[in-house]
Chain A
Amino acid sequence: MGEVILEMKEIDKSFPGVHALDHVSFDVKCGEVHALMGENGAGKSTLMKVLTGIYSKDSGSIIFDGKEIEFHSTREAQEAGIVIVHQELNMIGDLTVAQNIFIGREPKKGFRIDDKKMIEDSKALFDRLKIHIDPTEKMSELTVGKQQMCEIAKAISHNAKVIIFDEPSAALTEKEIEDLFAIIRDLRSQNLGIVYISHRMDEIKVITDRVSVMRDGTYVGTLITEDCTKEDIINMMVGRVIYEKPKEKSLVAKDAPVVLKVEHLNAGHMVQDISFELKKGEILGFSGLMGAGRTETARAIFGADPKQSGEIYINGKKVEINSPEDAVKNGIGYLSEDRRRYGVVVQKTIIENSTLACLEDYTNGAVINKGKEKEITEKFIKEMDTKTPSSDQLVMNLSGGNQQKVVITKWLVKNCDILIFDEPTRGIDVGAKSEIYKLMNALTAEGKSIIMISSEMNEILRMSDRIIVMCEGKKTGEIAIEEATQELIMDKATRDIVA
């Protein structure tokens, strides 16, 4: 390891309502691979976005190569020598490899693009990385792994001194990961500073020199990888003060009937052979890290995305669910994690949203019974304490928590017995959060059953009667609430399937 090439000191950044980074410090040395870890929403991405000029910082300083700097765009950062290799690839499929690598800065010969030089320079880059990719091939013809290599080649072509890898292995096969590691080691030996963001504990142990952990927008600490165990890192990631007391024991009767049974569900590589049961009156928590396949599982059950195989039983009877329409007919309601895109029709009123799932019950012949519609909506506004001046208010004008209540209203008006809540409190303030929790408990007390997907450990431990943990499209654990701990869940959520 060499001298410090990049140092971020006391970086502070707030968004309306969120203190995203609270005086975070982080540094990278020449010739090291430095892991940056933390749960979803810990602030890793925000920190990297501040570094590469996507966000501006509120306070703090960034010292790079001995000089204090502040970038205003990724382009400025690139030119200075800090590049980021994104999780989702930013490549244009219809252009060739060389055209992609040099996009925006094509070598010129007079007025025309110097294709020959571009191809030769690309070859030189690939030689440096010791990989074989034909620069004249179309990007869309390459495997995801090779595309990632091109992204790396593009990064080093900027004369990068620091390269940030944001979950680079998420979409790669085992062999491709090996190749990636060989390249990373090679770059390290060329004295570059490397930041490696990943959730995969086993990779961290293999490839990194130091590990820094963030939690809730704060910097927790840095460890030397060699000297620490997986448990040390997990403890740093989850060791927060628990504000809400976790549920101590399941509130579901032992002999409660199974209302939903899912067997061997497969839908793409994000949902592999998922089986589970949901009991009447139960809150079944789905835990896991971002990209674990929880939302995809929910969408496949709900018929929003096609599934390849698997059976679904409701109250012991096998049902065919091929569209959301089928799911709703079978009494399943789904609260999307992305409320504004999939949950509510924001330009419409509360009434219109409330009856969207069961308008047929509020029509006489073809005509909508607006009086009845208003009546049921206002009943639920009162019951759920939705804060709005009137029932014909546009949903757009409501706060996040109240918008969520409108979505829940929609499914209650439909009288759904099985509710899938995908991140029910995301983007909702603390007060509204506890109201949603209260509501969920009231619903299960009434005999409704809830599947709750949540990335918040507190929420999982506070609400669930039973917890299913997923990792990379597979179910990696099923834990009774009595036995659940943050450490146990995190262990299963970061389990490397390959190992």
Chain B
Amino acid sequence: MKKLFKEQKFIVLIVAIVLYVIFALLSKEFRRYTTIIQMLDFAYYVVLMAIGVTFPLITGGVDLSIGTGMICYALVGGFMIRNYHWPVVLAMLLSVLFGLVIGILNGTLVSVMGLPPFLATLCTCMITRGLGTLLVNKQAVPWPTNKVPEGWFHSIFKLTIGRATKIPTGLIPIAIIVIIMMFVLNHTRVGRYTIAIGSNREATRLSGVNVRIYHIAAYAICGLFAGLASIAYAAATPTVQPGTGAGLELDAIGAAIVGGVSAAGGVGSIEGTVIGVLFIQILKIGLPFIGLEANWQQIILGLILIGAVLVDVIKKRKEAAL
């Protein structure tokens, strides 16, 4: 029990709950059930991005391309539906695959070419932003709305049942994905080697592990999840605007760090990241309700991140002293 209290993710969970209670006490509107539903709708794509980026972060790297990447994949998928009348499911597949390809590209740049992750993914961030805009001729792309039959994909993440008290069933696919990824990180070779590379890449290499491939895999997973996030994003927003997306990755990366992923690599968990997203979403949605404009959220989040990284740095220093 004592150990549990020391865990960063547990502390963050408590803080998130306290925060929710404070907001709920201060604002009548915040207490409304629809606010929770709204909060969740806009949390799905952040959760997916955050789960993905947890992998590169654990290897000691980062992926800055997931924000603009996500928009790029959503644009391309929607474009194929509107202009070439692709079935929605095919478009979704294309979005996810596109994400995977960019992820593998990121991984190759970092693992094989030896580029610093920050730089490599900053470049693909710019590339995906330009590419997305170009491919759709600078037009905003609406995916089918949930009024038409093709809009069924909305229900993957947005479905609610019941009239008076809607139940957000969108949580179910997310929960399944979270459980799968917890399993991947803790019970498979990809997960084990991701952590090992982040802790000590050289010792892992000298143990005969093909670190290049597994390092690429971490970025590939991240890309794949940016692709999945693009579907959730298309479901949450009426139209996808080209040229947007920069900055969205910061919420995801911030959530992972707040949730206990070490900025130096080697430590992190999927459940921690999910808790981090929860915390950030409460802050983001809640602050306007108590009369603070949304920009405050950025400032506060920045300060919280400094705190989270400091905790990590102090922990590392104590370990080094051992």
Contacts and interface: CB of A to CB of B under 8 A. Distances in A.
Nearest to A355: B192
Contacts of A328: 207-208
A448 to B, nearest CB: 17
Contacts of A346: 199-200
A392 to B, nearest CB: 13
Query: Interface residues of B toward A: which range?
Result: 20 to 34
A345 B199 contact: yes
Contacts of A366: 188-190
B202 interface: yes
Interface string A355-375: 011111001001110100000
Nearest to A341: B202
B187 to A, nearest CB: 5
A328 B183 CA distance: 28
Contacts of B203: 336, 341-345
A343 B203 CA distance: 5
B173 to A, nearest CB: 21
A352 B195 CA distance: 10
Interface in B174-203: 183, 187-190, 192-193, 195-196, 199-200, 202-203
B26 to A, nearest CB: 41
A410 B204 CA distance: 11
A410 B187 contact: no
Given A302-B206, A328-B207, A342-B206, A368 B189 contact: yes
A334 B210 CA distance: 16
A366 B207 CA distance: 19
A65 to B, nearest CB: 38
A397 B210 CA distance: 28
B322 A356 contact: no
Nearest to A410: B207
Interface in A391-413: 396-397, 410
Contacts of B183: 367
B205 A324 contact: yes
A370 B187 CA distance: 8
B196 A363 contact: no
Contacts of A323: 205, 210
A325 interface: yes
Interface string B298-322: 0000000000000000000001001
A18 to B, nearest CB: 18
B314 to A, nearest CB: 15
Nearest to B202: A342
A92 to B, nearest CB: 21
Contact of B189 (A327, A334, A363): A363
A373 B195 CA distance: 17
A347 interface: yes
Contacts of B50: none
Given A341-B202, A359-B189, A363-B189, A327 B319 contact: no
A252 interface: no
A345 B211 CA distance: 14
A348 interface: yes
Contacts of B208: 324-325, 327-329, 357-358, 414
B268 to A, nearest CB: 12
A183 interface: no
A484 interface: no
B209 interface: yes
Nearest to B191: A368
B267 interface: yes
Most chain A beta-carbon neighbours within 10 Å: one of B183, B195, B203, B205: B203
Given A363-B189, A366-B190, A396-B319, A325 B210 contact: yes
Contacts of A4: none
B276 interface: no
A238 to B, nearest CB: 33
A359 B203 CA distance: 15
B196 A345 contact: yes
A396 B321 CA distance: 11
Contacts of A142: none
Contact of A341 (B187, B192, B200, B322): B200
12 contacts: A328-B207, A334-B206, A336-B206, A341-B200, A343-B203, A344-B203, A348-B196, A352-B192, A356-B196, A359-B192, A359-B209, A367-B188
Given A324-B205, A346-B199, A356-B209, 11 more contacts: A323-B210, A341-B203, A343-B206, A345-B199, A357-B207, A359-B189, A359-B193, A359-B209, A366-B190, A368-B189, A370-B187
